[in-house]
Structure 1
């Protein structure tokens, strides 16, 4: 049997005759338990927020989006489309024309982004399910679907024929025009629906049929701004990306859903790291109590240590006793804390105990990786704290 480990377990799980030391040990252990549980819960919350953001973006963002590597548009033929759909794993694709436009109604106006989409777009994303009032656009029509923010800013609604809605874009070309109308392309449209996604989309986007966008922007029949792709559930994204790059020889920049929302995910990752570091500092502070508890235990056991020394125990072995005691205390407390965190996160997932809004529970996700991160953090700093405390033992202390 490992002698230092045996004594360390005895010291850890048996009560001291000094009640103050028992209280100090409980406080030290409780601090580690609370800190480890809090760290795990916070990491689970950020994992849930990331999943929620990614799942929410499925309503408007495709699995993959092909953007021209140079310029704002590219030529896209039926042959190109056939080559794309031959790639195994691609379920459906949608052709997109996207550009900034000027919206005018009555005496109000606003700059927005017009996104012209084809009939496959509702199969690539679930944007049509986010239309909260009215209907999605009819193919080959002058119908549009606007965000609630644009609707509020310009004071128009669904099928609001009293207030004509018109789109303007500058004409491409050189020289002077004979009238003000010669500088702009314009089209009158009918708003048939309002979508509610998030503040950014609601305030900036209007959807139309691709033919209307092509007419307004004076695009050629085969000119497009982007291609959006939906993958099969079991598709290998990396393999598909490499096949697209090979087939189109660097014509496109390929972005997945996370890359399309890279600013959001960078913010979440930065906040996640900051919170981890803050709670790690809390853990370090809690481990000062562990150091204090071990030092008090050392002073309380001076007579026993003196006896062990005269029975032949080396100073190194006696240091190992309290190093192992402190390590065991942090390991056991860390495991208890993570277990409590697991239970709380599981209850939140199952019973929605804490609500973000009246209809939305605070998103959390159980993650084995987060549990490992917390335990490794606790164990690493706990071992360091135990090492620091055990160095208090010296031959002079034992012999005195």
Structure 2
């Protein structure tokens, strides 16, 4: 293409060394810096999103089966049908209900989750233990694993022998604002471990043996949910369809994403909000192309007149000026992508940006480079740069 050839000669000719080239170089840097920032920030966001996903994978099962009406159901038959599916690896029964916990002179409302012996094979919550151990039975004694937020609120230490007192409303007692003690079921359990996940979760959930929870709530042999772990290589959607087929219309089957849909959607939306905000910064940087193209046009006045004398048209001149802006943008994008990817790799290998404290159980911010982010960044910046260059070239043409 003749316009591209002329534009490239204007910008990169070895004999062309002037203040115009310096201005073009500044425009390249002005585009490269926000591109680098966009790549780095999106990579950091990807890393944090993966961390959140991995964190919740250690608390939420691949699939959760709950009754569509009511809280409790007899899960023996359904459990056997789900276990027989080729898509499922392990199925665990749980019984969950809100209870009042007292320890010494402190009180706290928590969601008690009673789990069976297979629960650790479905949800690896033991990976999040920060004090004590994940153990729900010690001989004939029932034990509990509590969240770090609950432990802080109650002042619990696993090394101390004092048990937790749990109070649950007896079935059929209603739910008035003030209840006499006689309408509660009470039981004691010793804390064996403390886990840490996020502030909302570990301030809310405690884990106890399934039989203990059923006795305390008066549920008998009934359960409140079935937690399913899928076999390696089975997608959540495929597993969900298989479980729904055997569960029937009386049960809801939710994937891990659907169990924490608000959190995952918020993370995804935040990423594209960040992208749009930084693209505004790129747009401002792209406006520097206006000055560069105008100065290049002024510097090449004699060349432009010569081109017109040789039979060139105003349309050809517009395309030459537009291509000069596009080339400057492309150089800025290329430099920005290289710097952004390099910074992300350096963070991944060396962890140069550290997290304050140990709240997230990691030293440095995680990163993950997504090729789609690189394409979206390059495409968006090139589109903006091209638009600014074309409009500038059209304006120069009208003035001549």
The answer to whether TM tops 0.5 is: yes
Instruction: Name the structure 2 match of 1:326.
Output: 325
Q: Could you tell me which of 348, 360, 363 is aligned with 1:360?
A: 363
Please state if 1:92 is matched with 2:95: no
How far apart, in 1, do the equivalents of 2:363 and 2:250 lie? 42
Instruction: Name the structure 2 match of 1:384.
Output: 387
Instruction: Name the structure 2 match of 1:369.
Output: 372
Greater mean alpha carbon deviation, residues 366-375 or residues 347-356: 347-356
Is the contact between residue 142 and residue 189 of structure 1 (CA under 8 Å) also seen in structure 2? yes
* Residue ranges of structure 2 left out of the alignment (5+ in a row): none
Instruction: Name the structure 1 match of 2:193.
Output: 193
Instruction: Name the structure 2 match of 1:10.
Output: 9
Aligned length: 390
* Residue ranges of structure 1 left out of the alignment (5+ in a row): none
How far apart, in 2, do the equivalents of 1:186 and 1:148 lie? 23
Instruction: Name the structure 2 match of 1:116.
Output: 114
- The 3 A distance-change label for structure 1 pair 186 and 264 is same
How far apart, in 1, do the equivalents of 2:300 and 2:282 lie? 27
With normalisation by structure 1, the TM-score equals: 0.92
Is the contact between residue 354 and residue 364 of structure 2 (CA under 8 Å) also seen in structure 1? yes
How far apart, in 2, do the equivalents of 1:17 and 1:180 lie? 91
Once the two structures are TM-superposed, the CA of residue 212 in structure 1 deviates from its matched residue by 0.3
Instruction: Name the structure 2 match of 1:236.
Output: 235
**Secondary structure at the residue paired with 1:361?**
coil
Greater mean alpha carbon deviation, residues 382-391 or residues 262-271: 262-271
- The 3 A distance-change label for structure 1 pair 58 and 395 is closer
Instruction: Name the structure 2 match of 1:106.
Output: 104
Alignment of 1:173-188 (within 5 A): 173=172, 180-188=180-188
Is the contact between residue 137 and residue 143 of structure 1 (CA under 8 Å) also seen in structure 2? yes
How far apart, in 1, do the equivalents of 2:3 and 2:173 lie? 88
Greater mean alpha carbon deviation, residues 64-73 or residues 235-244: 64-73
**Secondary structure at the residue paired with 1:230?**
strand
Instruction: Name the structure 1 match of 2:216.
Output: 216
Q: Could you say what the CA RMSD is over the residues aligned between the two structures, in angstroms?
A: 2.0
Alignment of 1:1-400 (within 5 A): 2-14=1-13, 19-77=18-76, 79-139=77-137, 141-158=141-158, 160-161=160-161, 163-173=162-172, 180-221=180-221, 223-357=222-356, 359-394=362-397, 397=400
How far apart, in 2, do the equivalents of 1:193 and 1:311 lie? 85
Once the two structures are TM-superposed, the CA of residue 16 in structure 1 deviates from its matched residue by 8.1
- The 3 A distance-change label for structure 1 pair 357 and 257 is farther
Once the two structures are TM-superposed, the CA of residue 185 in structure 1 deviates from its matched residue by 0.8
Is the contact between residue 97 and residue 112 of structure 2 (CA under 8 Å) also seen in structure 1? yes
**Secondary structure at the residue paired with 2:113?**
strand
Once the two structures are TM-superposed, the CA of residue 155 in structure 1 deviates from its matched residue by 2.4
**Secondary structure at the residue paired with 2:203?**
helix
Is the contact between residue 353 and residue 364 of structure 2 (CA under 8 Å) also seen in structure 1? yes
Once the two structures are TM-superposed, the CA of residue 168 in structure 1 deviates from its matched residue by 0.5
With normalisation by structure 2, the TM-score equals: 0.92
Once the two structures are TM-superposed, the CA of residue 70 in structure 1 deviates from its matched residue by 2.4
How far apart, in 2, do the equivalents of 1:174 and 1:34 lie? 65
